[in-house]
Structure formats: C-alpha cells, structure tokens
A and B are shown apart, each in its own frame.
Chain A
Amino acid sequence: MSPGEEKPDYLINPEGLRLDGRRPDEMRPLELKVGDVIRNADGSASIKQGNTYIVAAIYGPRELHPRHLALPDRAYLRCNYRMTTFSVPDRKRPAPSRREREISMVIRNALEPALFLEEFPEAVIDVYIYVLQADGGTRCASINAASLALADAGVPMRSLVPSIAVGKADGTLLVDLGDMEDKYGGGDVPMAIIPHTESITLLQQDGSFTREELLEAMRMGINACKVLHERQKDAIKRAYVREPGDDDDEYEDDLEDDLGEAAIPGED
C-alpha cells in the first residue's frame, strides 16, 4: 500500500455503483492508438484503460540473436513486459522482477495461438511492453495493446486478441477491475479470447469462486472481450482511413479529436 492510500469502506456503494461510479458490468473508459506510437518500431500501439497506460512495440520478424534460441519450424515470440519505475505510487525497483517475468510468459502464451509463427522459421518477433502508469489490469491491457501492435507490424495472425479481467468484490462480479478493486476485492479472473471461435488463450484465477460464479465471470468476460474486440477493429481502421488530398496535419487533428471523446475520465 502506498502512503496516504487507505482501504475503502466499501467497493460497491448502496446504489450498486463502484468506486469510480461504474456499474458492475461496465468497462473503464478505453483509448486505443495504433501505429506511430513508437516510430522506429515495425509496429506499435498504446492503450489507456482507466488510469492504466501502456505502450507496446513490435520489432521483427527479424534475425534471432542469440542463434541457439532459434526454432527450426517457427518464429520465436519474445515478450518483454516491463513496468517503469514511475508507473506506481511507490517507486518500482528497476530490476526485472519475478512478477514481470511471469507476466511476460503469460502474455506470450496468450498471443502465440493467434499468430502464424510457422511462416518465419528461425526468426524472432520481439514484443516490448512498457507500463507507463499502472492502475490494475495491466496484463490484460498489455495483451490488448500487443495484439494491435502485432497487427500494425503486419505479422500474419488468426485474430486480434481482446483480453479483460472479471473480479469479485463484496459478493458482486465486476468487469474490468481497477487497482483498488484488485487489491481489496475477493479475487479476479483475467482472460483473453480469440473472438470468432471463442477459444480461450488466457485464463487465470486469483481468490476463490464458486463454480457458478466462475462460469458467470467467464460469460461476462467473453462478452466484454467482444465489445473490446470491436474497439480494437475500429482503432486499426481509424489509423489507416485517410481521405485523399488530406494534409498530414489535418489528419492528426481528426485523430486526436476522436480519441479525446472516448476518454473522458470519470464519466457517468
């Protein structure tokens, strides 16, 4: 717990609303940007989900160094999830932590089934994910951003991979947990899916759920992922739709207006 942070008396108020005024099945305001986030990368994307802010950059497919890691039949997907020192109220120590290594692996496992890695044997696809501001749900937001960046880099893939966590607080199931709900709630279930087949590429659980609660949480999660998927598709299309004859400057302005509207914090 950071200095000055206190456990809230309740996570759901008597009207059934959450700390930031959301309804239980409501997601945080979402802001996606594809391409031109990291100009030198082959593909990049950024995501703001509530106060969580993450950028993802893709390099490759490119030659793999060190060579001994190369896989003879497919590309090696190398995910690197890092939290910046200033992403949390207490300074995060810059050394790679056990948690970061684990989340890197979780992200790789969630993305791998969606990619046609066999088209690039011996090569590597580097996925760099930097958490600039952490406020809960960073692993899911990272998967959202990374899959957009992979699409932007032109890596062939079966589908985008939307991802979201469903959790529990004061006995109610909540979609898209914020930091406080994550810390003081009763558990959470992060998940990622491939939408048109409804295959699940990530499913974790923290805390205890009854069988019914878990099934309901997964149903809510899949619905939220589908909503998220539509937003991801929009974000990609918006990055490329450009009227002929438009000046670059005008185009930038249009984009910013669009994003600004989607991200009014604390609306409702």
Chain B
Amino acid sequence: MATFFENREIVVPGQLLAEGRYRSSFGTYVSADDEVFSALVGLAELRGNTVRVVPLHGVYIPREGDRVIGTITFVAGNNWKVDIGGPYGASLHANNALRKPYDDDISKYYDVGDVIAAEVATYDRTTGPYLSMKGRGLRKLKGGTIVEVSPAKIPRVIGRKGSMINMIKDKLDIQAMVGQNGRIWIRGGDLDSLQIAKKAFKMVAEQSHTKNLTDRVAQMIDEELAKLHENDENEETEETSALEDGEEVEDEEEMEEVNEE
C-alpha cells in the first residue's frame, strides 16, 4: 500500500501511481499485480483510496447526462443528426425534443446549421449517443458565438461551483452556456466584451493546470476592460456622432431579443 505521486502532480502514461488496494478510476489502469498506472498525461489525484488522472488533453467522449452544445448537420425524417464534436455523431429524435403534436416537417423547428443545447440521454459503445432536449435551459441557441476549448478543460472553465464561469459572466455582463463537449456559447454585451471573454476562455484552457487561475483571469479581464475604457474616451472625442447612433440602435435590438427568452 503506497502511492508514488504528489497530489496534482503532472504524470505521464505508464507512470506507476500506486500499488496495493487502491481503486483505479478515470485515466488509470491496473496491472495484474494490483499496481495502478497512469494512462494519460494529466494531473494525478487521490480521493479516499481512489486514484484518478485529470487529463490535460483529449477528445469528447459522451456520458449520459452531459449537457452538450451541438450543430444540426442533417434532418432525417423525425431525427436530427447533431455534431457534438469528438469521434461520434449524435442523433436527436423529435419525440425527445418537441411537444406533441409536431409538424411532419421537423426542419421547421431546427434546421441544418442551427446550434442547440441538449443533453446526452443514452450512450454506450454499441449505439451512438442519443440526445434529449427535454430539460431546463435546453433550447436552440440563437445568435451569439461559440468558443471551442478542449473538453478536458471544461471542469476548469466552470470552476468550483461555477466560480470561474460566473466571474467571467458577471465581469463582462454576458450570457454564457458551457457544454461538456468543450463548446462554450456566449452572447450579449458588446463585441469587445465577447472578445475579452474569448481571450479569458483560451487563457483558462491553456493554463488549466496552474494555480490561482481564477484570480489571474479576473486580473486579465480588469486590465482589458481598463484599456477599453481608455480607448472609448479617446474615440468619443474623435469619432463622428452618426456612427455612434448606429451602434446604439443595434445594441437595443440585441437587448430585446435577450429579454424575450
């Protein structure tokens, strides 16, 4: 009975993590002699007597109950085919998405190219993932933009009890929805805050294995916002007022759409 790593140490595939009666969890495997090895490059963690490795990279592997953000790629009878990233395409049956009775032509509701938030209803290795859209907040995502990060980084993007994502949302005054498949949908605010949000998510993804990340991301956002305000003050004196009017109108439209939902 011994472990051979410090908590949250970076380990590599084939590295001996523990021997004796330890339980092997995600990212690890056990040899015939009860030795636990790492199967991934990641951060090793011991919880109780369970050893696991939090990956630093990897594709999205669906799990039941995951909330994902996908793009409709095909409308087939009463099914939609949905790209959710990773090696497997998903399907969404109209019965799991719409209230009955629904029209025969389901492309009325969601069509190719639409972005949806859905939940993985069932998945095993023999059948592809099946999605469901019955649930709170599961809907078509109108407008906005999508930032893609590695699915392995999503826990860090959310943070402990949502600390990271809520901080970014509050500071920049935007809406955001995070899918377990590594896609983050953001909308609202102005273009500049969306740009800063993108930068913030990329920063989280790149430095997910370092400490005090939330504080540093917050600091980065503050600095960027400060820069923006400086620029605004300069621009206000230089730009013509006609352009500003145009921008304001656009902003109002955007607000209305948000309020509808």
Contact = CB atoms under 8 A, between A and B. Distances in A.
Interface of A: 42-43, 60-63, 75, 114, 116, 119-124, 151-160, 194-197, 232-233, 236-237, 240-245
Interface in B76-117: 86-89
B152 interface: yes
Given A151-B40, A196-B14, A244-B210, 5 more contacts: A63-B89, A157-B14, A160-B12, A242-B207, A244-B207
B157 to A, nearest CB: 16
Interface in B215-235: 216
B15 interface: yes
B158 interface: no
Contact of B57 (A43, A62, A75, A160): A43
Nearest to B29: A158
Nearest to B26: A156
B212 interface: yes
Contacts of A152: 41, 57
Nearest to A229: B14
Contacts of A160: 12-14
Interface in B1-58: 10, 12-16, 27, 29, 31, 37, 39-41, 55-58
Contacts of A153: 57-58
| Majority secondary structure, B binding face | loop
A120 B39 contact: no
A42 B57 contact: yes
Contact of B59 (A62, A151, A236, A243): A62
A151 B10 contact: no
Contacts of B58: 153-155
A158 B14 contact: yes
B87 A156 contact: no
Contacts of A63: 87-89
Nearest to B59: A61
B136 interface: no
A154 B14 contact: no
A191 B89 CA distance: 39
A236 B42 CA distance: 10
B211 interface: yes
Contacts of A159: 13-14, 37
B139 interface: no
Contacts of B161: none
Contacts of B15: 233
Contacts of A62: 59, 86-87
B160 interface: no
B12 A241 contact: no
Interface in B191-246: 207, 209-213, 216
A236 B12 contact: yes
Given A61-B87, A240-B209, A195 B14 contact: yes
A152 to B, nearest CB: 6
Interface string B56-74: 1111010000000000000
B12 to A, nearest CB: 5
A152 B55 CA distance: 10
A244 B207 CA distance: 8
A75 B150 CA distance: 20
18 contacts: A60-B59, A63-B89, A116-B29, A121-B125, A122-B87, A122-B88, A154-B58, A156-B27, A157-B13, A158-B37, A159-B13, A160-B12, A194-B14, A233-B12, A240-B209, A241-B10, A244-B210, A245-B216
